[in-house]
Amino acid sequence: MKRRDFIRSTAGATLAATAARQLRAQTPNILPNKSIKPVVISSANGNKFKNGGDMTCVQKAWTMITQGADVLDSLIAGVNLVELDPLDDSVGYGGLPNADGVVQLDSCCMHGPKKRAGGVACIEGVRTPSLVAQKVMEMTDHHLIVGQGAQDFARSMGFKIEEDLNTEHSRKLWLEWKRRIDPEHYLDPDKRSGEARRVQEEMIADGLLDPRRVYGTINCNGVNAKGEVCGVTTTSGLSWKIPGRVGDSPILGAGLYVDGDSGAAGSTGRGEANLYGLCSYLVVENLRHGMTPKDAGLDACKRIKKNTIEKRLLNSRGEPNFNVNFYVLNAKGEYAGVALYANTFAVCTEDGPKTVASEPLLQGKPED
């Protein structure tokens, strides 16, 4: 190379390097994940039951997340507190049984970063179905295992199988329901439906049942500082349900849906209404298209309202006579709790755990 060509080439490289340094100095560092504050959001029972400990579900999960634990491991550890607490009769041990007095449990979980999911339905004898759902995700090529197969799988994974998950409280309520309802109810599905609802309303009026927990369930979603999103839903399902009934909780896209790039949504309330529209999937798709968590959730509530046309499911105002709640979290750490009718949800941030009001779509009460 000639000397003047070498000098020209060297000078050009020096100018390019200088320009690059100047450009970097003028351009702010973009570190989106650094601005994400960890959040855990759940149904209201996630900030109520402690199973004798000193932390609620959302507090336990948030603490583990901020200490560096995997997000899904943290959420499941949180819901385990509720599943194992005999005082909560909507999930796990002591969950309200089916029409035959048998506790059948459902659960599913989704891991955003790993793009994996697992679930179980109608599983009997295992207090923590969320942990079995996680094993389905981790140890199999399947997304859902049900009934006896789910119990056999749990046994093979080392879970203790118990003969009866009823507590004295849940069995007492089942016997009271059985006493009040027509003993031949199961032979006449139409009569059973009407009688079951009538007796359910009687027991609520008598203070035996909490109307917010007739449908059971806890959903819990979380995001860490890296923007990693996961979710889990677990339930004992509709109280006094037909044996074998599966609601929305273990179904991906209904009781729970997670997309690692967009966010998570889960639901509690009338599962059949949520199943029909796969509303958790709808909520997350709304997040993907730029909607806020609140607007994304309310859009799903509108879908449910529009699809509810059967007279038996409508109140005197012509609106749904049941509630459905959504717990929505995007990958930026923004969240919202929304519902058909006014309700509450739980959340834990750096400010600690708290229970706050949901954003309702409709005014009044479902039964009005």
Residues noted as catalytic: 217
Would you list the DSSP string of 61-125? HHHHHHTT--HHHHHHHHHHHHHH-TT-TTSSTT----TTS---EEEEEEETTTTEEEEEEEE-S
Q: Quote the distance between the C-alpha of residue 256 and its chain's center.
A: 5
279 three-state secondary structure: helix
d(CA 138, CA 161): 20
Token pair in block for residue 187: 């032979």
CA-based nearest residue to 250, from 133, 80, 90 = 133
User: Would you say the C-alpha torsion 268, 356, 85, 207 has a positive or negative sign?
Assistant: negative
**Cβ contacts of 66-70, under 8 Å, gap ≥ 24:** 66/38, 66/224, 66/225, 70/230
| Secondary structure letter of residue 44 according to DSSP | G
Query: Do residues 225 and 33 touch, judged by C-beta distance below 8 A?
Result: yes
Distance CA 364, CA 58 (A): 29
Contact 288, 261 (CB under 8 A): yes
Whether 254 and 228 have beta carbons less than 8 Å apart is answered as: no
Strand partners, 144: 119
